[in-house]
Chains A and B, each alone.
Chain A
Amino acid sequence: MGQYKDITPGKKRLKRLYTAIMLWFVGRAIQAAAKVDDEVKKEFDSLPDQFLFSLGVSPNGPRMLVGKDISGCVKYMGQNPKGKKIHVDMTIKNLEAAILLFTFQESTAMSSCHDRLSVDGDIPSACAVVRVLDLVEIYLLPKIIAKLAVKRYQNWSWDRKILNRAQIYLRAILGV
């Protein structure tokens, strides 16, 4: 059969690496924001005890897990979902969709409209998670980029934005 060939799928190493770094940093930033920002703290308080959510790329892509431990502290729980009870599992359907999300060409809400995300779990909790992600993105990104990433950009006071942002960055890098 002259024109037949087998295809072995390649890997998109750079895109995987970029997505993995973004997920790792956002996970640690959520842990930091839960200590620094009252609104993020309140969102997590309304979620059940030992709540755990996961955001990752299908099929074997990078993943982040964030949740409340036994004492109620919000912690970044790593990348491996094995053996953990996940309450809300948000899966990005492929690496290209993840790149669109993490290069802010599409916001989380638009990605969801375009059927690039699938959410497994309780819808109110999933909405709370998306609100937390939006708040953290406002802290992490400059206004011009954050406006593309979130549904509604909130105008905060100077000290909330700048001081809290510095704390979150520091805590995320140091992991405290």
Chain B
Amino acid sequence: MQESTIEFICPVKTNAGKKALDHIPIELKALDAEHPIIITDQETANKGLSKYMVKAFNDSGMQAGLFEGVPNTADANTIRSLSQKFLYKGFDAIIAVGGGAAMDTAKGLNIAVSGSPDDLNQYSGINKIQNRLKPFIAVPTAWGNGFEVTQYAFVDNKAYASPYLMPDLVVIDPVMFKSPDIQLMLSSVMIALTHALEAVIHPDSNEFIDAYAVAAIQYIKQCLPQSLKNPKNKQSNMGLTSAAAMAGCAFSNVTPGLIHRLGKAAGTLFKKHSGLCMGILLPYGLEYQLQNDKTSSSKLFHAVDNFDQRAKTSPNAYKQKVIDYIKSLQNEIANATNDAIPKTFQQTEISKSSLPAIAQKAIDNGLNIDKEACIKVLTAAYDGTSLA
């Protein structure tokens, strides 16, 4: 066997299942914290989910603070005023409940209060944070952006990447998955699937990353049909969030890939959820990336297909089987949502003439692939045709 160096980090503990929220006080004690601030967005508060967080502290003897006003995207002003409150009240831990904005605000707040508020300007970029931050617990709901458990935070269009931003604990409790917005949930599932698939394909992939990524893909494969059939099924929604957490752990160990960057660029330019764009790009991006990569095709095939199919399929057909599976998933989602989730860019407001701009934005943000190749993938995603 060839000598190789493997690096893998996953400092995240997970508590998932019935009554998981009630474990938070004792987990805080294990993290040496006694006075947390709970941060959540308006959407979570409107759905009445904050009360479950408050109930989790009953009988714990712990005082907490609750802030329910995180805006739709994390911004430095909210973080600055929260950090003043944090220091004034003497909080010592942060609990974020809700979707992407709440998580990003919490991570930004963690940077600001573990050092100084000016650190928010200094530490944007990759691996600039050098010290442990305050204890941070993430409680995702059904409308996350797939980045909750990752090492990334996005504040005011600046990206922060550091393993120290990953939560110490992720709590996935079925009560938080009541009445999800099905479109938002499916978008976040698409981001999770993109993260998992690209983690396997990435040149820096290793066995540890594969373990998390393949488990995430298989869990999504198991839970997604149940969620589509019955969107109120809390157990399958919880399963999808667990899969997103696993995919996030895998994704935090690689750099973002082609589908991720193109999807994010399209989402930012056209004010769409990036999960929708990544979902559209998935089969075409995979077709491009798996062209000469037999090992990844084999790994992905074994993740997505049934055991009885494996013996009947020749290795040359693995790549096509993976792409067919993704397309069947897209069809299933489109049928279940009455075509609310588009399958090609043509079904959205994105025009064919803006595809080069999307490719350029992705390349400006760090995508290391030729512009022509990106435009080829985007065009195939626009028309819904194969790349070849």
A and B associate in one complex: yes
Q: How far is the CB of B255 from chain A (nearest CB, A)?
A: 34
A124 part of interface (Cβ distance < 8 Å): no
Interface residues of A in 148-168 (CB under 8 A from B): none
User: Among A4, A11, A95, which residue has its beta carbon within 8 angstroms of that of B67?
Assistant: A4
Report the bound CA distance from A6 to B61 in whole Å: 14
Against B, the Cβ 8 Å flags (1 = close, 0 = not) of A1-33 are 111111111111001100000000000000000
- The reply to whether A10 and B19 contact each other, CB–CB distance below 8 Å, is no
Majority-rule SS of B interface residues = mixed
**Contact partners of B85 in chain A: CB under 8 A:** 1, 4
Which of B23-31, B154-162, B262-270 forms part of the interface with chain A? B23-31
Note all chain A residues with C-beta closer than 8 A to B64: 6-7, 9
Closest to B42 in A: A3
CA distance A2 to B69 in the complex (A): 8
Residues 41-69 of A, flagged 1 when their CB comes within 8 A of B and 0 if not, give 00000000000000000111100000000
* Number of B interface residues in the complex (CB < 8 A): 29
How many chain A residues sit at the interface, stated as a range, is: 20 to 34
Q: Say whether B69 contacts A7, CB under 8 Å.
A: no
Q: B63 in the interface, Cβ–Cβ < 8 Å?
A: yes
Counted as pairs of residues, one from A and one from B, with CB atoms less than 8 Å apart, the total is 80
Shortest CB distance A94–B (Å): 5
Q: Which residue of A lies closest to B65 (CB)?
A: A6
From A3, A15, A58, B69 is in contact (CB under 8 Å) with: A3
A89 within 8 A of B: no
A137 CB, min distance to chain B CBs, angstroms? 21
Whether B66 lies near A4 (C-beta < 8 A) is: yes
Tell me whether A93 is interfacial, beta carbon within 8 Å: yes
Given contacts A59-B25, A59-B26, A59-B29, contact A9 B60 (CB under 8 A): yes
Chain B 148-182, CB within 8 Å of chain A: the 1/0 string?
Answer: 00000000000000000000000000000000000
A114 to B19, CA, bound (A): 10
A94–B60 CB distance below 8 A: yes
Q: Are B58 and A10 in contact (CB under 8 A)?
A: yes
Give every chain B residue within 8 A of A96 (Cβ-Cβ). 19, 22
Complex interface: chain B residues within 8 A of A15 (CB): 59
Residue of B17, B19, B54, B64 contacting most chain A CB atoms (<10 Å): B19
Q: Is A97 an interface residue (CB 8 A)?
A: yes
Bound Cα distance A111, B82 (Å): 38
Quick one: closest B residue to A9, CB to CB? B57
A9-B57, A59-B60, A94-B23 known; A4-B29 Cβ under 8 A: no
Distance A9 CA – B59 CA, assembled complex (angstroms): 6
User: In the complex, how many angstroms separate the beta carbon of B185 from the nearest chain A beta carbon?
Assistant: 25
Please tell me if A100 contacts chain B, counting CB pairs below 8 Å.
Answer: yes
User: A7 to chain B: which residues have CB within 8 Å?
Assistant: 38, 54, 57, 63-66
The verdict on B43 contacting chain A, using a C-beta distance below 8 Å, is: no
**In the complex, what's the smallest C-beta–C-beta distance from A103 to chain B, in angstroms?**
12
Taking A94-B22, A96-B19 as contacts, is the C-beta distance between A4 and B61 under 8 angstroms? no
Report how far A60 CA is from B26 CA in the complex, Å. 12
B69 & A94 in contact (Cβ 8 Å cutoff):
no
Which residues from A are CB-within-8-Å of B23?
Answer: 93-94, 97, 115-116
Told that A3-B45, A3-B69, A97-B22 touch, could you supply 20 new A-B pairs with CB distance under 8 A?
A1-B85, A4-B65, A4-B66, A4-B67, A4-B68, A5-B66, A6-B66, A7-B57, A9-B63, A9-B64, A11-B59, A12-B58, A59-B60, A60-B61, A93-B22, A94-B19, A94-B26, A95-B58, A96-B22, A116-B19
Q: Supply 12 A–B pairs (Cβ within 8 Å), ascending by A.
A: A1-B69, A1-B81, A3-B68, A4-B67, A4-B68, A6-B64, A7-B38, A7-B65, A10-B59, A59-B26, A93-B26, A97-B22
